[in-house]
Structure 1
């Protein structure tokens, strides 16, 4: 698949919407980095990193969200929060693992609160 990352992000959006998340932004950029999906569910703003893989031969997708990547996401999230929200919301950092198998089957693993500020 030519752009499996984008495909996985699109599937993750469908997955989150089906779980009653409202998508606020996609591919939000700052000078620090990018957040794949910013969503809201009730009184919580969720910053979502999406990782897509065909298998776990090289490890689980979430293992590729290392400390450095987490720091970039958190700094970018702080800018988004400062520009868009006030203190009345809770915030959370999630990872959605998207597994795309050869038979076009898709599985998701939603790691809520995968890392913290």
Structure 2
């Protein structure tokens, strides 16, 4: 997938989540451990969001593509974010996945998709 396609998918997910009441804090947070596509706030909760796009569901849904290795990278990146932003450390956190299917044109939002 090209970076342009990824950016479009993230734009689409961002618009969808903002319409659901989430507020964007940071986009494409990157550190040595990995990258977090979107970091948003919902009420008092800090939400780390992975956006997955699949042109076709032939090889599974976008949500299924967040395997344990990817989850571990996201957990490490989130820990790094919290170390660098200590004012968030006492807030509840969760990991969500937004899946976008190109062939079906659907958005799926899985809240609290994984965690420790």
User: TM-score, length-normalised on structure 1?
Assistant: 0.89
Paired with 2:80 and 2:97, the residues of 1 have a C-alpha distance of 19
2:74 is matched with: 73
Paired with 1:60 and 1:100, the residues of 2 have a C-alpha distance of 11
Unaligned residue ranges in structure 1 (runs of 5+) = none
How much has 1:9 moved relative to structure 2? 0.6
1:99 is matched with: 101
Deviates more, 1:23-32 or 1:50-59: 50-59
1:35 maps onto 2:52 in alignment:
no
How much has 1:81 moved relative to structure 2? 1.1
- Pairwise mapping of residues 1-117 of structure 1 onto structure 2 (< 5 A)? 3-84=4-85, 85-101=87-103, 106-117=105-116
How much has 1:54 moved relative to structure 2? 2.4
SS in 2 for 1:47: strand
| Residues paired across the two proteins, number | 114
How much has 1:97 moved relative to structure 2? 0.3
Unaligned residue ranges in structure 2 (runs of 5+) = none
Over aligned residues, Cα RMSD in angstroms? Answer: 1.6
1:48-67 deviation line (CA, Å, top 9, x unaligned):
00001222111011221111
Deviates more, 1:56-65 or 1:79-88: 79-88
Paired with 1:86 and 1:40, the residues of 2 have a C-alpha distance of 10
